[in-house]
């Protein structure tokens, strides 16, 4: 699970980011253990509701159901627990289902949803998921990946290169591809400061590199941290699920709202207003600033205490 991995290794990641002393590293390890106890383990994997969704709102139907009037638009969900929808209680709340229904309504076509996303996946797992998707290349694919890359300390350049490669494979097969970049892990409240600021720095740097990689491969990037972090930072009780790490149904709903325009635009069916550009300085980006200052303040306090004892 992304949450537990994040807390097991985030202190090590923090050390890599900030060159922290042993004393600060020990503090971060203690913080990660404390937060792990708060988050706990998931009780079950997310539900699945693959099938065909009609513009009328019906679904999921089997692809060979007589009620399916024509060849559906094929839509693939690829990625990690966020793409899989971990945190919801019912299939109707899954982001993939919400998007499939909305795509059917916007396009006025049936949409066949196939979920390849698996909780705990990293960019290294994209190869297997994309291999499966390319057996019947989709018309449209949504990729959300990155949180577990941070928590397992995959080098940022490696993560970005893998994403570029597999987005490129989907594009070469004729699929339109939209990819959500790494969320802001610093919005997860059970991770205490200064650990939270350091994890935020890592996740936002990865998101920036992913954005470039997606564009280079011919996909459409959606900066999830920039667009969603302000909401999750101000409404955590509502937008996080019971584990306080993955989104709740309400959290996935606002995620769907920022992803849908890009998905519809990628296949030429967006009928809404102009798609707004993300903020040039988001709340998430601004929140990166204190991380090194916080670490420096802790180190200064440690040195001061050491001088007193000497």
Question: What tens digit of pLDDT does each residue of 278-290 get?
Answer: 554 454 444 444 4
Question: What tens digit of pLDDT does each residue of 219-258 get?
Answer: 999 999 999 888 888 888 888 867 777 888 899 999 999 9
Question: What tens digit of pLDDT does each residue of 21-48 get?
Answer: 444 444 444 444 444 444 444 456 678 8
The sign of the torsion formed by the CA atoms of 245, 250, 255, 259 equals positive
List the structure tokens of 71: 């060849």
The mean per-residue pLDDT over the stretch 145-163 comes to 90
Residue appearing with tokens 């159901």: 65
Which of the following is catalytic: 121, 241, 246, 291? 246
Helix (H) or strand (E) holding 180: strand 176-180
3-state DSSP of 136-202: CCCCEEEEECCHHHHHCCCCHHHHHHHHHHHHHHHHHCCCEEEEECCCCHHHCCCCCCCHHHHHHHH
- Average of per-residue pLDDT values in the chain: 80
List, in sequence order, every beta strand (DSSP E) within 191-282. Answer: 220-222
CA distance 148 to 131: 20
CATH architecture of 2-309: 3-Layer(aba) Sandwich (3.40)
pLDDT of residue 221: 97
CA distance 276 to 219: 18
- Work out the widest C-alpha separation in the chain, in whole angstroms: 83
> In terms of DSSP bridges, do strands 140-144 and 73-79 run parallel, antiparallel, or are they unpaired?
parallel
197 is catalytic: no
Residue appearing with tokens 């102009």: 274
Which of the following is catalytic: 32, 81, 119, 282? 81
User: Where are the domains positioned within the chain?
Assistant: 2-309
CA distance 47 to 87: 10
211 is catalytic: no
159 is catalytic: no
Residue appearing with tokens 């390849």: 116
Give the predicted TM-score (pTM) of the model: 0.78
Which of the following is catalytic: 201, 243, 248, 255? 243
- 247 - beta bridge partners? 240
Question: What tens digit of pLDDT does each residue of 64-117 get?
Answer: 888 888 789 999 999 999 999 998 989 999 999 999 999 999 999 999 999 999
In the DSSP assignment, the letter for residue 141 is: E
């Amino acid at each position: 699970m992304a949450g537990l991995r994040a807390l097991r290794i985030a202190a090590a990641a923090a050390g890599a980011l900030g060159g922290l002393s042993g004393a600060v590293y020990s503090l971060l390890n203690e913080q990660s253990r404390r937060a792990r106890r708060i988050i706990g383990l998931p009780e079950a994997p997310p539900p699945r509701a693959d099938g065909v969704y009609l513009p009328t709102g019906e679904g999921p139907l089997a692809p060979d159901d007589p009620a399916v009037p024509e060849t559906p638009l094929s839509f693939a969900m690829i990625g990690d627990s966020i793409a899989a929808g971990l945190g919801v209680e019912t299939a109707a709340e899954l982001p993939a289902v919400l998007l499939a229904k909305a795509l059917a309504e916007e396009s006025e076509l049936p949409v066949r949803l196939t979920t390849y996303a698996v909780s705990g996946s990293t960019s290294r797992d994209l190869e297997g998921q994309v291999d499966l998707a390319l057996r019947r290349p989709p018309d449209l694919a949504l990729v959300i990946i990155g949180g577990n890359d941070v928590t397992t300390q995959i080098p940022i350049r490696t993560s970005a290169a893998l994403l570029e490669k597999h987005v490129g494979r989907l594009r070469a097969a004729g699929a339109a591809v939209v990819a959500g970049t790494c969320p802001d892990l610093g919005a997860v409240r059970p991770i205490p400061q200064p650990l939270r600021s350091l994890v935020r720095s890592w996740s936002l740097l990865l998101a920036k590199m992913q954005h470039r990689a997606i564009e280079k491969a011919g996909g459409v990037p959606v900066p999830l941290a920039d667009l969603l972090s302000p909401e999750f930072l101000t409404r955590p009780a509502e937008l996080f699920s019971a584990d306080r790490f993955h989104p709740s149904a309400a959290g996935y709903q606002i995620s769907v709202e920022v992803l849908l325009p890009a998905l519809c635009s990628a296949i030429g069916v967006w009928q809404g207003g102009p798609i707004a550009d993300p903020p040039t300085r988001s709340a998430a980006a601004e929140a990166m600033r204190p991380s090194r200052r916080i670490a420096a303040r802790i180190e200064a306090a440690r040195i001061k205490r050491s001088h007193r004892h000497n």
